[in-house]
């Protein structure tokens, strides 16, 4: 392990540690793909098994899910801008865009919680049937990921304020940006295969 | 990457606009068009895959050579998606038990259980 | 909750277990206090991030688990040889076959192999540690606490009793209430976190930390098998994570995934379980293949025959391992199409496996074989494994499987592949790399005794089970028909033979510690790969310097060119990570949360989870990036280790 630091290129790739952490995180994302696809498979197999609970077509609303989707899409975009600022060397720009990203993420979570409570009022809960179990666990796992991401990013912003842009902090920020974009990828599939298909079939 | 020094992140903006357009297109295909259900499902899943590609290639810097990761990120995502296809399609195939039925209605469930006693 | 609901009561065998746990624990505490070793234990072992020490802790834990799983096995064999003696009742028998299977696969086979990988892989590729030493320590402690959590179940709360496959609806809350099944779910979940992290860690290590000049196709074959295995781990373990989580949510929070009510689908559990479970089989067999390849090449004194074919067949096996899972439940009731597809894909796996067998034989062909203990384990593996493999192909034929399924034929088959494959490999690998770990060889004479006892015991135990299976004896029964008696008695005799073999093996560790000649050079077996280039005992930084590698069998060419890993001209300060107590504390808190969840004490579980998150936050703010070993110190260490 050399501690030699490269002199050019993005800050987060300049040390061997930085490169390895980012590579390790990519591999972890490979595992996350499988984790979510298992949940998708469960959802697909249990699709339509609503027992006595309401069917999804009666509960899903295009408006609110579209708003959630745009919130998350935009947050993914602002997160990309944050990395752009980081690579341009602007700490202030980075923190600003990160905070905006988190705000959008919180908005998404708020809608998701509202949505879950609403469904529960209509008689569709985790316990009511296997379809609804699969729905809540799939969407909920994504929601938990978003929540953890927000907490994690807050810790990183504190570190950025304390330490500025170093190979270590920029590596950490880059990793969480990967995580955040990845959650958007997952949401695209939830939006498509859960909500859109749920409203069509 | 020379783009890093540019002031306007062109790639991100294009990606963002594209994903909004694709999302709206998917919503229209699902709720506004009169396509048969099977076609709708195929079309919107294809749109979702394109959007995932936009995130991975345009936002996540998956193929950046300065990362020192070589083809590994790309490889892991590729294999991840292959596995996703195996898990989802394989589960649907296996759990259909090789019989044709629709989970949607109650009568079919009774049929399913009687099939298993055949 | 009453105390007598918390502790298991009314079973003399379990009271015996409790007494021995208390005795052993107090003996350990007494010894540590009397010898004033608490500080040493904490500084040298519990807080270490050194891959070699973590590997040794993995192997020690795995040996302890082999003992526990082995005692379970012997108790089952006693019951089946004397079914009317009421040694075990049906409930106790159910618990024991469940814990036997789970312990052997999850807490014995995997950690044993992961332990060997921990020690050997960085040495084979010329790395100074894992890519993420901290994460490696976290992995170990998550496995360790997972294993403890699972094992404690037999005295506290009661053991799981639904089989190691834990099929629903039997394993669901309606039919298996109480903490037993939760122990299974939480123990595996906790250990699974560590396994996934180890997979990622090993993959990054192998991809990014190889010695200068070592290309992918120059890597030793054990490292290749580790890389392929970590690929399988990364893509298979998340499936288990989800399956366990869904069943946990079913049992504790009342969801309906695998229930009989609410249109749940119990068979989906089998589907998810085996989607992980089949790749898992290859997670424990591919490293074994790697170990045998190393040993056979070393003691046949020849380059491994068909290196590239070996690598590609492992990659092919890894790919196919994700496409065959349904063959574990052909009899579930799926139609001919589903079963045929998976029957064909199952048989395909025999092809790359056959390629490997022939490559080993070709390596041995016209070679000068040295009959060391490690080599004998490897030679015994080939025919024994072939018997297991061929009967596996028989089971893979869906139509025939309706006859074989859930009979002792199946039991014999998977013990033939898992013992002859994985367990032989663990023993062989431990014997082979023992001098590298501890600075002295295991005694060869005693080692051969243990080998013969174990090998003959193994065949006597499991070969009859093929026939008693064909006679119709089903698995997981505690009472048997009279016509199955003779073969069962023979089987039990064989099982005790294996037990004797294991005891001799453990005695050999003690004997060799006392009497074996200490190694003076690092190269105990005239080896071919880089791990033998280090001095023994291996310095904590592994390699002072490394030559440019070009080609396979790197150490052979180093010996030819008179190169060592100590080139005084090129010495530079070495960067090493600091020890830390965070991994053990973090995982202890998570284990506490899991234990609370087992008893469905939600409040305590939430507190534990928050504690774990706080530990992760503390880690995030920890900017300790290790220390440097100075050139003078390296010189001193290397000179004394090399006797210069």
Domain regions of chain B by residue span: 1-60, 69-118
Domain map of chain A by residue range? 62-200
Burial class (CB in 10 A: 0-12, 13-18, 19+), C269: buried
> In whole angstroms, what is the distance from residue C72 CA to residue C107 CA?
14
Assign 3-class secondary structure to A63-107: HHHHHHHHHHHHHHHHHHHHHHHHHCCCHHHHHHHHHHHHHHHHH
Q: What is the DSSP string of C281-343?
A: HHHHHHHHHHHHHHHHHHHTTSPPTTHHHHHHHHHHHHHHGGG-GGGGGGGGS--HHHHHHHH
Report the SS3 class of residue C7.
strand
DSSP secondary structure code for residue C516 in this structure: S
The shortest C-alpha distance from B53 to chain C (Å) reads: 20
What percentage of chain A exceeds 70 in pLDDT? Answer: 98
Residues forming beta bridges with residue A108, ordered by sequence position: none
In a domain, C451, yes or no: yes
> In whole angstroms, what is the distance from residue C130 CA to residue C198 CA?
10
> In whole angstroms, what is the distance from residue A113 CA to residue A117 CA?
6
The shortest C-alpha distance from B20 to chain A (Å) reads: 8
Q: What ipTM does this complex have? A: 0.95
Find the CB nearest C255 among A30, A133, A156.
Answer: A133
Q: Count structural domains, chain C.
A: 1
Contacts of A129 in chain C (CB under 8 A): 256, 262-263
Q: What is the DSSP string of C235-253?
A: HHHHHHHHHHHHHHHHHHH
Contacts of C617 in chain A (CB under 8 A): 155
The verdict on a CB contact (< 8 Å) between B95 and C267 is yes
> In whole angstroms, what is the distance from residue C166 CA to residue A148 CA?
31
What's the CATH number for A62-200? 1.20.120.80
In a domain, C64, yes or no: no
Q: What is the dihedral of CA C118, C120, C126, C129, to 10 degrees?
A: 20
Query: Degrees (nearest 5) of the Cα angle C60, C179, A139?
Result: 95
Residue of B nearest to C203 (CA): B72
Residue of C nearest to A16 (CA): C208
The verdict on a CB contact (< 8 Å) between B84 and A34 is yes
Find the CB nearest C239 among B79, B87, B93.
Answer: B87
**Beta strand pairing status for C627-629 and C574-576?**
antiparallel
pLDDT of residue B84: 96
Contacts of C237 in chain A (CB under 8 A): 31
Run means of pLDDT, 10 residues per run, chain C, 644 residues: 76 83 89 91 94 96 95 96 90 95 96 97 95 96 96 90 94 92 96 96 96 94 97 97 96 95 94 96 96 96 94 96 95 90 94 95 94 97 96 94 94 96 97 95 96 97 96 93 94 97 97 92 91 91 90 91 88 93 96 96 96 95 90 92 83
Report the SS3 class of residue C407.
strand
Domain containing residue C359: CATH number: 1.20.210.10
The alpha-carbon radius of gyration of chain C (Å, integer) is 25
The verdict on a CB contact (< 8 Å) between B4 and A10 is yes
pLDDT of residue C1: 65
> In whole angstroms, what is the distance from residue C101 CA to residue C105 CA?
6
C residues 336-375 lying closer than 8 A (beta carbon) to B: 336-339, 341
Under the banding of pLDDT at 50, 70 and 90, the label for residue A4 is: low
Q: What range defines the domain where residue C400 resides?
A: 317-521
The alpha-carbon radius of gyration of chain B (Å, integer) is 21
Mean pLDDT of chain A: 93
> In whole angstroms, what is the distance from residue C387 CA to residue C102 CA?
24
pLDDT of residue B101: 52
The shortest C-alpha distance from B54 to chain C (Å) reads: 23
Residue of A nearest to B84 (CA): A37
Residue of B68, B86, B90, B106 best to disrupt the C interface, most CBs of C under 10 A: B90
pLDDT of residue C19: 87
Let me know: does A130 contact A49? Beta carbons within 8 Å.
Answer: yes
Find the CB nearest A45 among B30, B44, B91.
Answer: B91
**Mean pLDDT across A161-180:** 94
> In whole angstroms, what is the distance from residue C54 CA to residue C297 CA?
27
The shortest C-alpha distance from C276 to chain B (Å) reads: 10
Residue of C50, C51, C130, C131 best to disrupt the A interface, most CBs of A under 10 A: C131
Q: What is the dihedral of CA C285, C291, C296, C302, to 10 degrees?
A: 120
In a domain, C627, yes or no: no
- Which H or E run includes C629? strand C627-629
Residue of C334, C336, C398 best to disrupt the B interface, most CBs of B under 10 A: C334
Ranges of chain B with pLDDT below 50: 1-4, 103-118
């Amino acid at each position: 392990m050399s501690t030699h630091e490269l002199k050019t290129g993005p800050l987060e790739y300049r040390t061997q540690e930085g490169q390895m952490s980012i590579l390790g995180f990519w591999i972890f994302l490979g595992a996350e793909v499988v984790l979510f696809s298992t949940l998708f498979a469960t959802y697909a197999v249990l699709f339509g098994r609503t027992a006595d609970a309401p069917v999804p077509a009666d509960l899903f609303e295009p408006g609110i899910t579209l708003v959630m989707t745009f919130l998350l899409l935009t947050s993914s975009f602002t997160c990309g801008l944050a990395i752009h600022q980081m690579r341009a060397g602007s700490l202030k720009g980075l923190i600003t865009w990160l905070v905006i990203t988190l705000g959008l993420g919180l908005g998404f979570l708020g809608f998701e919680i509202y949505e879950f409570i609403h469904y529960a009022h209509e008689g569709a809960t985790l316990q009511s049937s296997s379809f609804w179990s699969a729905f809540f666990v799939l969407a909920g796992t994504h929601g938990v990921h978003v929540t953890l991401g927000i907490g994690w990013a807050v810790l990183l912003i504190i570190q950025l304020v304390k330490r500025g842009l170093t190979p270590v902090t920029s590596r950490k920020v880059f990793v969480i940006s990967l995580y955040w974009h990845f959650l958007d990828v997952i949401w695209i599939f939830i939006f498509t295969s859960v909500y859109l298909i749920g409203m069509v079939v | 990457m020379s783009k890093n020094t540019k002031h306007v992140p062109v790639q991100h903006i294009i990606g963002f606009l594209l994903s909004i357009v694709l999302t709206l297109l998917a919503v229209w295909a699902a709720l506004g068009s009169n396509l048969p259900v099977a076609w709708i499902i195929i079309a919107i899943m294809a749109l979702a895959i394109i959007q995932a590609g936009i995130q991975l290639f345009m936002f996540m810097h998956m193929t950046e050579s300065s990362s020192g990761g070589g083809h590994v990120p790309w490889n892991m995502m590729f294999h991840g998606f292959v596995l996703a296809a195996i898990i989802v399609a394989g589960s649907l195939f296996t759990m259909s038990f090789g019989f044709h039925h629709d989970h949607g209605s109650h009568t079919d469930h009774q049929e399913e259980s009687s099939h298993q006693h055949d | 909750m009453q105390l007598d609901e918390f502790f298991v009561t009314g079973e003399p065998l379990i009271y015996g277990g409790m007494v021995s746990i208390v005795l052993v624990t107090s003996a350990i505490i007494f010894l540590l206090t009397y010898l004033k070793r608490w500080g040493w234990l904490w500084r040298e072992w519990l807080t270490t991030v050194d891959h070699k020490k973590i590997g040794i802790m993995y192997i020690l834990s795995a040996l302890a688990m082999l003992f526990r799983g082995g005692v379970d096995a012997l108790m089952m064999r006693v019951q089946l040889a004397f079914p009317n003696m009421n040694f075990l009742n049906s409930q106790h028998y159910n618990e024991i076959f469940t814990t036997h299977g789970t312990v052997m696969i999850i807490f014995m086979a995997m950690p044993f192999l992961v332990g060997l990988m921990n020690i050997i892989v960085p040495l084979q590729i010329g790395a100074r540690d894992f890519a993420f030493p901290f994460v490696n320590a976290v992995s170990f402690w998550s496995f360790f606490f997972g294993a403890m959590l699972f094992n404690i179940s037999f005295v506290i709360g009661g053991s799981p009793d639904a089989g190691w496959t834990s099929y629903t609806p039997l394993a669901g809350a309606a039919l298996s209430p109480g903490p037993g099944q939760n122990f299974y779910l939480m123990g595996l979940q906790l250990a699974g976190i560590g396994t996934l992290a180890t997979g990622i860690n090993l993959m990054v290590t192998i991809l990014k930390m190889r010695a200068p000049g070592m290309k992918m196709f120059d890597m030793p074959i054990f490292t290749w098998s580790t890389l392929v295995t970590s690929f399988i781990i990364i893509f298979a373990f998340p499936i288990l994570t989800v399956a366990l989580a869904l069943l946990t949510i079913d049992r504790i929070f009342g969801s309906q995934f695998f229930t009989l009510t609410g249109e749940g689908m119990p068979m989906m559990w089998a589907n998810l379980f085996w989607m992980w479970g089949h790749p898992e089989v290859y997670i424990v067999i591919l490293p074994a293949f790697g170990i045998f390849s190393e040993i056979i090449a070393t003691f046949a004194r020849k380059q491994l025959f068909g290196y590239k074919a070996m690598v590609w067949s492992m990659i092919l096996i890894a790919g196919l391992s994700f496409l065959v899972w349904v063959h574990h439940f052909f009899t579930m009731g799926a139609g001919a199409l589903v079963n045929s597809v998976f029957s064909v894909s199952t048989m395909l796996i025999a092809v790359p496996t056959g390629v490997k067998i022939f490559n080993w034989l070709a390596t041995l062909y016209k070679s000068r074989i040295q009959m060391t203990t490690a080599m004998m384990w490897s030679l015994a593996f080939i025919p024994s494994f072939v018997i297991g493999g061929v009967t596996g192909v028989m089971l893979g034929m869906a139509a025939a499987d309706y006859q074989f399924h859930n009979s002792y034929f199946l039991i014999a088959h998977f013990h033939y592949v898992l013992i002859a494959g994985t367990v032989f490999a663990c023993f062989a690998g431990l014997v082979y790399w023992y001098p590298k770990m501890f600075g002295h060889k295991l005694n060869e004479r005693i080692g051969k005794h243990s080998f013969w006892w174990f090998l003959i015991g193994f065949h006597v135990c499991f070969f009859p089970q093929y026939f008693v299976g064909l006679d119709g004896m089903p698995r997981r029964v505690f009472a048997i028909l009279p016509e199955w008696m003779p073969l069962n008695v023979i089987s039990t005799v064989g099982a005790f033979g294996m037990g004797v073999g294991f005891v001799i093996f453990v005695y050999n560790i003690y004997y060799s510690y006392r009497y074996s000649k200490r190694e003076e050079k690092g190269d105990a077996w005239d080896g071919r790969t880089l791990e033998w280039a280090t001095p023994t005992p291996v310095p904590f930084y592994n390699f002072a310097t490394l030559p440019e590698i070009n080609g396979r069998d790197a150490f052979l060419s180093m010996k030819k060119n008179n190169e060592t890993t100590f080139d005084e001209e090129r010495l530079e300060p070495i960067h090493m990570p600091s020890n830390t107590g965070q991994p053990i504390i973090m995982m202890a808190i998570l284990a506490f949360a899991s234990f609370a969840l087992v008893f469905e004490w939600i409040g305590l579980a939430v507190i534990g989870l928050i504690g774990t998150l706080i530990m992760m936050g503390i880690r995030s703010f920890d900017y300790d990036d290790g220390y440097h070993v100075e050139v003078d110190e390296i010189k001193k260490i290397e000179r004394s280790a090399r006797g210069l």
